[in-house]
Each structure stands twice: as structure tokens, then as C-alpha cells.
Amino acid sequence: MALSFDDRIVVCGAGGFIGGHLMGDLVRQGYRNLRGIDAKPVGQWFQRLPNAENLVLDLRDRTNCQIAVRGAAAVYNLAADMGGMGFIEHNRALCMLNVLINTHLLMASLEAGVERFFFSSSACVYGHDKQAHPGVEGLKEADAYPATPEDGYGWEKLFSERMCRHFTEDFGLTTRVTRYHNVYGPHGTYDGGREKAPAAICRKVAIAKLTGTDAIDIWGTGDQTRSFTYISDCLYGTQAIMSSEVVTFPINLGSTEQVTINQLVDLVEEIADVRLKRHYNPRAPKGVSGRNSDNTLIRQFLLWEPSVLLRVGMEQTYRWIYDQIASGKSREPARSVGCD
């Protein structure tokens, strides 16, 4: 699908981390008819683009979805009530209610004649039995079935993937679905309880550096493994998948550079030039033991895969979070570090 620079593009969740970056990237490419949607007041958006139409709408409501997609050629659904593992494990009902957003957006997009619809799914759709050990192999797309996803959030994502599939099969709406693996970078949540592991670790290390604190709290043993995808790779992959004529199925978008949480802390300490004691909380929410992305299909169909090295991305993320905290913009310096 080739969009013209004057086609209406709607980004749902534009006040959030990925959505804000996507809006900015579309502007840099020259797209002139952008509409950003988020439930938060505009003043709370991570990035606000003055040349875009910015609407505050709760997309759980069908009427608001009809307003959001009016006149749109393409819709990116990045909207969700979510956060890191601490939020997901304690707010399963709220996560499940996200199904209203995607369902109503699909219905509204079909009514409005939208040409293409993108849904941001998650590696949380994969079964726990595939992620029971830190040394887990990369998760293949087929590993989502038989279905045993993350309770609440993962089930909602998997159900919404199926909704996209059936809207394509039954009604002809072109949909694209991507399973994000731990996207991180600057201009995102780093405190308040919804932050994910890279941002939480950067925050804790930055606070220690600024205050002289000598310790950091870590959820679990620190042996959990993850791969983390830098925002620039996420943006390129998202748009490549959206425009692809061959990626018609849910596909992984993630790095394969797997590390333990302890290694991630090591890395941030090196960047910050500080060494900290570690206090482990094995009873805190810690997610699955291991998670990594198998990129066979994205390499096959897009001739590309995420390539930004973790150290490069974490340097950018740490510097931004450090500057935010140093300038007094940190809202709630929560103590714990988890992973999703």
C-alpha cells in the first residue's frame, strides 16, 4: 500500500510512547494529514505535534472510534491501557477491557472505508510453557498456539489478533498485526508504576547517581532473560509491516540480542559509571523466565530485522531519563525494577 503525503493517517495512542514516536516519524517523512488520538489530556502526551490534529477520545467508546477514523486511509491502533509486568499482573480486567478499543476501531474502520488497519500485539501472546527457562530459544509465530498467553493482557492481544483476521476474511478489511517484543527508548514512561524494565533500571541508576544512593531493587532473581527492541527499529518495522503486501499474518518485531536482567543492570551501570548493590525481591511480579524473538519470518518477508545494539539504545534512553530526573520532571521515583 502506497500512501500519498495528503492521505489521512490516524495514530491511536498518539499520546503514548510508540504512538508519539510514530507521529513524529511520519511528520519527518512529509505526511501532512495526521490525526493523533489518545484518552489522556494533550498536556500529558509524551510528544505533541502542533501541525497534527490532536484529539482526546476514549476509544473504548464506539462513537469516539467513529470520530477518530473519519476520512482515514490508514489507521494504526497502538492504544491500550497497559504498562510493565507490575501493572499487567495487578490489572488484568483493565487489560482485558482493551478489547473494546480494537473491536470498536475495526467496526468503525470498516464503516468508514479505511484501506488498511494496523494492530499492535505483543509477545505476551506466547505460552508460558515456551518461556519457562532463561535460556529459551526465540519464540516463533506458530508458538502462540495452543493458546496459553499471559493472563489478562496476553489473552486480550490474542483475541484482538483473531478479530483482525476475521475482519479481513469476512469483510475484506486489510489488517496487519505485529507482535512487539519489549520496545524501549527515550520519551516514554519511566516512573509511576507503568514503566518497563529498561526505563525502570535507567531511572533507578540515575537517581542513585544524582543522590549518592548505593543500591537498586530488582524484581525476581535477575536471571530472567529478555530481548529489547529500540524505538527506531520498532518504527521502521511497524511501517514496513503496515505497507507490506506479503506479511498478512501476525509477525514478530523484536531484537534477538538476549540478556539477563542482571546483565541489563550491568550495562546501565557502565553507561552511568557507577556500581550499585542489588536487593532482590523474588516475590515481586517478574513475568516469564525467558523471552526472545525468532526473526526467521521477518527476515524472509522484509529482508530486514531489528539491528540497533542494546548498548547504543540504552545509552540514548539513560541520557534522556537522567536529564528528566535531573531537571525535576520525575513524578514518582518508585523503588522497584521489574521486567515484562
- The 10 Å CB-count burial string (b at 16+, else e) for 270-294 is ebbebebeeebbeebbbbbbbbbbb
Q: At 172, is the secondary structure helix, strand, or coil? A: coil
CB burial of residue 237 (10 Å; 0-12, 13-18, 19+): buried
Alpha-carbon span 150 to 92, nearest angstrom: 10
Pairing of strands 225-227, 258-260: antiparallel
Q: Are 180 and 125 in contact (CB under 8 A)?
A: no
- The residues pairing with 24 across neighbouring beta strands, listed in sequence order, are none
Catalytic hit among 126, 153, 180, 190: 153
* Nearby residues of 260 by Cβ (< 8 Å), 6 or more positions away: 134, 222, 223, 224, 225
Known active-site residue 153? yes
Alpha-carbon span 137 to 73, nearest angstrom: 38
Residue indicated by cell numbers 535507567: 202
Alpha-carbon span 284 to 58, nearest angstrom: 31
Alpha-carbon span 239 to 178, nearest angstrom: 10
- The 10 Å CB-count burial string (b at 16+, else e) for 320-332 is bbbebbeeeebee
Catalytic residues, by residue number, are 153
